[in-house]
Amino acid sequence: MQAMSVWTEDRVRHYGVFQNEKGYSLDPGGVRCKTIVKLIKHFYDFTLPRCDVKLTALINIFIWTYG
């Protein structure tokens, strides 16, 4: 599994990155994108799950694989 951490104005938010044959998502029932890059770009235009924040700079994002 992969995880993504995003620094917002007041805290770091951690998201699991869900992957299946339909693509990547930050929410099991949420929007899926074919690549992780497209998923990240999606959240420049739309707010992150459980948060009222859009991504503004790639330097705020860290992705790692574990497990």
- Tens digit of each residue's pLDDT (9 = 90 or more) over 5-26: 888 878 899 999 999 999 999 9
Please state, rounded to an integer, the average pLDDT across all residues of the chain: 85
In this prediction, residues 46-62 reach a mean pLDDT of: 78
d(CA 36, CA 10): 25
Residue 45 is given by DSSP the state H
CA dihedral angle for residue 57, residue 58, residue 62, residue 65, rounded to 10 degrees? 140
Supply the pTM of this predicted model.
0.77
pLDDT surpassing 80 at residue 59: no
In the prediction, which pLDDT does 37 show? Answer: 86
